[in-house]
Structure 1
Amino acid sequence: MSIPMYNLFIEPLDLNELQRDVWIDDPVPAKLLTKGEKLDVDIAYRGSHIREFKKKSYHIGFYKPAIYQGAREIHLNAEYKDPSFIRNKLSLDFFSEVGCLSPTSKHVFLTLNGKAQGIYLELESVDQQFLMKRNLPLGAIFYAVNGDGNFSLLSGIGKKTKASLTSGYERKYGSKQTETDLEEMIIRINTLSRADFNKEIIRILDVEKYLRWLAGVVLTQNYDGFVHNYALYRNGATGRFEIIPWDYDATWGRDVHGRLLGSDFVPITGFNTLTARILDVDSFRRRYQQILREMLNTTFTLEQMNPKIERLVNNLRPYVLRDPYKKHAIEKFDQEPTVIAEFIEKRRRFIKEQMYKLE
């Protein structure tokens, strides 16, 4: 099955401005041609450390039309450090299957001014349109953008008291007043007594969905996912926060630099302040254990994952050979299904061995 072709055209002066400084977030105008349609868009680089890679990742905002296929903006991830190209998509699809809100994604092949740029993963933006597509009540959305998104009063960067309770978060949707709700949640997470925590946390957080997200992060072993690479959505109907995964390429046995990780790297109990407090409650911890067991018996198995892995890599292989940044690494690409499968088996064994810690 073919993947969509995205053809970007940027005027030379605008392209020079875009390339002048990778850390500038100001977009430049461009044209995007896809499926016979010509779209006016704004384009900028995206990400943090990934901006320094040879193959850049992009943020694209639609200008004319302002909304395209239900989206105001999309993210094009180069997946430069993942030799398989599939870990991010595999993760986000997995989270959706296990009952979490999760962005959709699809692979595309990108050209820029007629020159091949290679395979990209198009990520759905978690914003107002994300909620509307799913018929969800509108509510504030915050992105956790760095290590301060640890649900703590202390900074994850240096362990000092945070200058602001919203440090580490970027408000994506909602008025500035909604930041008060986020501040209140963080205060209560850190100050509620042990006796009151289990009764109060269910009023401000969808604990069931958090536990499902936690199980997903732990099983796929996303080390960074506990303190950033997620979004918080405050459901406008329930008033409770829900957590949404984001940018999960550092999973399935590799880290953010593409290096192999031991299958025992992330503990079964995960980490961050909120996780520690939730797992301190007997009923929540038992429910988490039950969710893990369910996933180990259903979704997180080779029988379930191997067909998905094979379908994705078989579909992408012809395009890897056309990717100027990755075509030389086709042998490594071909080995990745085995790498991921071995990780799943080892991770399953590790989690089963560690279940006693949740008793």
Structure 2
Amino acid sequence: MTQSDEILTYNLFINPKDLQDLRSDIWCDDPVRGVLNFNKKKYDIDIVYRGAHTRKLKKKSYHINFYKPKFFMGSKELHLNAEFRDPSIMRNKLSLDFFSDIGVLSPKSQHVFVNINGKQEGVYLQLESVDERFLQKRSCPEGTIFYAVDGDANFSLVSDLDKEVKKSLSLGYELKYGSNEAMGYLENFIYKVNTLSHDDFEKEIDTFLNVPNYLKWLAGVVFTQNYDGFVHNYALYRNNQTGQFEVIPWDYDGTWGRDVNGKIMESNYVRIEGFNTLTARLLAKPVYRMQYRDLVKSILNNKFTVENMQPKIEKLHHQLRPFVLKDPYKKEDINQFDMEPEFILQFINKRRSYIYDRLDKLL
């Protein structure tokens, strides 16, 4: 997927009967056939709803697979997120771009305008899939990719969902790319995270984990304040050359001062140390805690500032506004949309103050 400042328009066509079938059961994961017309070219596609609780919302999100031709803008699949509960429609993109800016592997994203059978469906965020193509585009070594799909992906022996001991250490993960035997590497990694002694943890964790990547990812979750990000909303990439796992962010609409339902999330909601078992074990070691502190200070000074973020926010708002006015699900909320840039900038200032005041907790 190529990055573009332009808001592209996608014209989708689905047989009315197939569209009725799709809408009759929002929980069905069986795709229907369709066509995407773009730039005077026709693409045969499979299309299905995506997401969990978001499927109940008026404006649906979609997952598209391409089969003739097999690739579209260098990708074999697209995720089209409705961003329905985010009044700015920009939090997800701001977050993923922020992660990239601080040195974390992150999916590219861009806003598009979608029509289905000639009817305007509105503004969507097109998300790059984290798969083998994701690695190839970045010249990353071959590896295995897992998706963290629920709260069991908490790097713990105990479920985050029912607080019971897990029956399998691979619970919470879905293999996206790679061989099934790779699950053994994942299970061994989680086992080691939880069972290595205090002294052995520091000696051995580098064998399994790209620690600098993890600390940058942790900082990104903390700054954007994605409360759910510590136990899911990420992908795991195991680099076959190093044997280390790296974390890749995913689905970050509940950020920058609002939760996944669009409700205000106070700027002190997520602590500077973050959460989950792996994070706790890393920050229990002075060497990693100081690395994290130095990283947080650097991001505070250079990246997570109004001066850095304001031009990006205002540019995106300006680009989106004409299309939001055509979005049948969003145009009535244009006043709220227009207030969001200032809301996000205020959040940045408040969150900066909160984090700065708690840097000493990392000494």
What TM-score bracket applies, with the shorter chain setting the length?
over 0.9
Instruction: Name the CA distance, whole Å, in 2 between partners of 1:293 and 1:206.
Output: 20
Q: Structure 2 residue aligned with 1:21, among 18, 25, 42?
A: 25
**Cα distance per residue 1:31-81 (max 9 Å; x no partner):** 001122110010010011000000000000011011222111010000000
1:170 paired with 2:183, answer no
Unaligned runs of 5+ in 1: none
Aligned counterpart in structure 2 of residue 207 of structure 1, from 200, 207, 211: 211
Report the Cα distance in structure 2 between the residues aligned to 1:163 and 1:29, rounded to whole angstroms: 38
Matched, 1:153 2:157: yes
Task: Tell me by how many angstroms 1:318 deviates.
Answer: 0.4
Matched, 1:119 2:131: no
Find the counterpart in structure 1 of residue 270 from structure 2.
Answer: 266
Equivalent residue, structure 2, for 1:180: 184
Residue 239 of structure 1 pairs with residue 250 of structure 2? no
Tell me the secondary structure at the aligned position of residue 176 of structure 1: coil
Residue identity opposite 2:90 in structure 1: I
**1:221 matches 2:194:** no
The equivalent of 1:79 in structure 2 is 83
Q: Aligned pair count?
A: 359
Cα deviations across residues 3-50 of structure 1 (Å, max 9, x unaligned)?
100011000121112112111111111000112211001001001100
Distance 1:113 1:107 in 2: 20
Alpha-carbon distance in 2 for matches of 1:261, 1:286: 28
> Residue by residue, what CA displacement relative to the aligned partner does 1:249-307 show, whole Å, maximum 9, x if unpaired?
10000000000011000000000000000101100000000000000000100000000
Q: Deviations over 1:152-182 (max 9, x none)?
A: 0100001001121110000000011000000
How far apart are residue 2 of structure 1 and its match?
A: 4.3
Give the match for residue 194 of structure 2: 190
Query: Which residue does 1:34 correspond to in 2?
Result: 38
- Tell whether the 8 Å contact from 1:140 to 1:178 is kept in structure 2 after alignment: yes
What letter is aligned with 1:279? Answer: L
Q: Could you state the TM-score of these two structures normalised by the residue count of structure 2?
A: 0.98
Q: Runs of at least 4 residues of structure 1 off by over 4 A?
A: none
2:8 is the counterpart of 1:4: yes
CA distance in 1, matches of 2:11, 2:199: 58
Conservation of the 8 A alpha-carbon contact between 1:5 and 1:35: no
Query: What code does the residue aligned with 1:141 have?
Result: I
- Counterpart amino acid of residue 79 in structure 1: E
Letter in 1 for 2:347: F
| Among 347, 350, 353, the residue aligned to 1:349 | 353
Q: TM-score, length-normalised on structure 1?
A: 0.99
Identity of aligned residues (%): 58
CA distance in 2 between partners of 1:163 and 1:6 (Å): 44
AA aligned to 2:44 is: D
Cα deviations by residue, 1:63-122 (Å, 9 ceiling, x for unpaired): 101122211101000000000010000000000010000000000000010000000000
Equivalent residue runs for 1:301-340 within 5 Å: 301-340=305-344
The question of 1:99 aligning with 2:94 is answered: no
* Structure 1 counterpart SS, 2:355: helix
Give me the whole-angstrom Cα distance separating, in 2, the residues matched to 1:113 and 1:59: 17
The equivalent residue for 2:145 is 141
Instruction: Give the Cα separation in 1 of the matches to 2:319 and 2:86.
Output: 16
1:49 aligns with 2:53: yes
